[in-house]
Amino acid sequence: MAKASKFDAAEHFKNPKARARYLSEAFDTGSAEQVVKAMGTLARKKGLSEISRQAGLERVNLFKSLYYRERLKLSVAMMVLDVLDMQLVVVPKKK
């Protein structure tokens, strides 16, 4: 019997618009856990070591925040988004 390969969502976000759409949809859920999970997926695509180096963060702390769902500080989230060439934009809720 053939063994199924492990699916890795990070491999499917090759362009910035797809990554931004994915993260925006996570924000639309209203779930902080979903946002952190999406950020972790995108961070894995770029590489945690690279993100921690560029953001000036300790890799182990970044890993804990993104993968063990510890409380991700807004300041850290902003640094990660910056390294991912994204920005956080606030818009009115859709009615």
What domains can be seen in the chain, in order of their start residue? 14-83 (1.10.260)
pLDDT at 14 over 80: no
pTM of the model: 0.77
pLDDT at 79 over 80: yes
Q: Do 55 and 83 form a contact (C-beta atoms < 8 A)?
A: yes
84 by Cβ neighbours in 10 Å (0-12 / 13-18 / 19+) ranks as buried
Q: Which value, to the nearest 10 degrees, does the dihedral of the CA atoms of residues 13, 90, 51, 40 take?
A: -60
Share of the chain above pLDDT 70, in %: 85
